[in-house]
Chains A and B, each alone.
Chain A
Amino acid sequence: MEGLGEVATWEMDMAGWHLVFNATTIMMTLVIVALLLLFGWQAARKRAPVPNLFQVVGELFVVTFWGLTRDALDEKLAKKYFPLICSLFMFLVLSNWIGIIPWMEEPTKDLNTTLGLGIMGFFIAHFCGIQAKGLKAYVKQYFEPMFFMMPLNVIGEIAKVVSISFRLYGNIMGGSIIILVVTYLVYGLLLPPFLNAFFGLFVGTVQAFVFTMLTLVYISVQVR
């Protein structure tokens, strides 16, 4: 309970700026990336008609998300944006699951990670919209029902970023705080595995899926 709300940081001064890095988040993100690279290497190492374990899981990811991406976008765009969607889901689901291992923390427990991913999705969606419709039609959609609705439309677009990143952050952070508090209250007896299974595995999977689907939906809304 003592560590609640504390963040391990690296601080440094560079060129007149005082920089603060969240050490845990950076280290855990790198661990996730390393695990994903290992997974990709294992899945593609010995490709065979009778697949090994990693290839089965990889094919499961690819087939599921290829279907979803193709339903949301058309065939050509789906081919372009499918790697983004699939790897986003794999990154998020592994990030949310790694919290159930002791001494490991979710990178998504930090607002910086989720806000970064949300802003990435925002820029990709709008770039894709400009590319698909042309700059003139893209600007025109902000003045859509009437010209004075422009500020509302702009705020609506920015609120999308805030909403998806705060949803993921709040779920993971809230879940981990509930696990911590309840574990403290019951002296670590009996309940924590079930709490970890619910908040880590179930909520983590659902929220990773929701984040991925919403990024995909934002792209498809901009393209249409």
Chain B
Amino acid sequence: MDMSGADFVRGMALLGAGIAMGLGAIGPGVGEGYAAGKACEAVGRKPEEAGLLTRTMLVGQAVSESTGIYSLVVALLLMFVVK
């Protein structure tokens, strides 16, 4: 198979984008699920605080999601910027 340097770089960039997104999605997935579970426990214990707990949970999840977003940005850079 003949493959020039540019094609190789492009292929490796796409492969890297896939790996970055796939591995980077593990951490936020686990972390957000854990936060949601803890919030469910807290709502079960104190149902009258459900509004505050939901708001805090959403903010915490959005912050812990940021590592996944970084890997998304890296994947987008690899896909659209590396030629």
**A is bound by B:** yes
A interface residues (Cβ-Cβ under 8 A, vs B): 4-5, 163, 166-167, 169-171, 173-174, 177, 206-207, 209-210, 213-214
Query: For the complex, is B58 an interface residue (Cβ under 8 Å from A)?
Result: yes
Are B76 and A173 in contact (CB-based, < 8 A)? yes
Known A-B contacts A170-B72, A210-B59; A5 and B66 likewise in contact (beta carbons under 8 Å): no
Judge whether A170 and B69 touch: CB under 8 Å: yes
The answer for the CA separation of A5 and B80 in the assembled complex, in Å, is: 7
The docked-state distance in angstroms from the alpha carbon of A213 to that of B55 is: 12
| Interface residues, chain B, with chain A CB atoms under 8 Å away | 58-59, 62-63, 65-66, 69-70, 72-73, 76, 80
Q: Chain B's nearest CB lies how many Å from the CB of A86? A: 17
Closest CB of chain B to A206's CB: distance in Å? 5
User: 30 pairs across A/B with beta carbons < 8 Å?
Assistant: A4-B80, A5-B80, A163-B66, A166-B66, A166-B70, A166-B73, A167-B62, A167-B63, A167-B65, A167-B66, A167-B69, A170-B69, A170-B70, A170-B72, A171-B65, A173-B73, A173-B76, A174-B72, A174-B73, A174-B76, A177-B76, A206-B58, A206-B62, A207-B62, A209-B59, A209-B62, A210-B59, A210-B63, A213-B59, A214-B63
Tell me, rounded to whole Å, the shortest Cβ–Cβ distance linking A160 to chain B. Answer: 11
Other A-B contacts than A169-B73, A170-B72, 14 sampled, CB-CB below 8 A, are A4-B80, A166-B66, A166-B69, A166-B73, A170-B73, A171-B65, A173-B73, A174-B69, A174-B72, A174-B76, A177-B76, A209-B62, A210-B62, A214-B63
Interface residues of B, dominant DSSP: helix
Please give me the residue from chain A that is nearest to B61 by CB atom. Answer: A206
Docked Cα-Cα span, A128 to B53, in Å, equals 30
B31 to chain A, nearest CB (A): 14
Q: How far is the CA of A169 from the CA of B76 in the complex (A)?
A: 12
List the A side residues contacting B59 at CB < 8 Å: 206, 209-210, 213
CB distance from B56 to the nearest CB of A (A): 10
Question: Closest CB of chain A to B17's CB: distance in Å?
Answer: 12
Closest to A171 in B: B69
> Considering only CB atoms, which chain A residue lies closest to B55 in the complex?
A209
Which residues of the other chain, A, contact B63 by a CB distance below 8 angstroms? 167, 210, 214
B-side contacts of A174, CB under 8 Å = 69, 72-73, 76
Complex Cα distance, B72 from A174, in Å, reads 7
A170 nearest in chain B by CB position: B69
Residues on A with beta carbons closer than 8 Å to the beta carbon of B73: 166, 169-170, 173-174
Which chain B residue shows the least CB distance to A213?
Answer: B59
Residue of B nearest to A207 (CB): B62
Closest to A163 in B: B66
Q: In the bound complex, how far is the Cα of B79 from the Cα of A4, in angstroms?
A: 11
Could you say which residues of chain A place their CB within 8 Å of the CB of B62? 167, 206-207, 209-210
A210 to B60, CA, bound (A): 9
CB neighbours of B58 from chain A (8 A):
206, 209
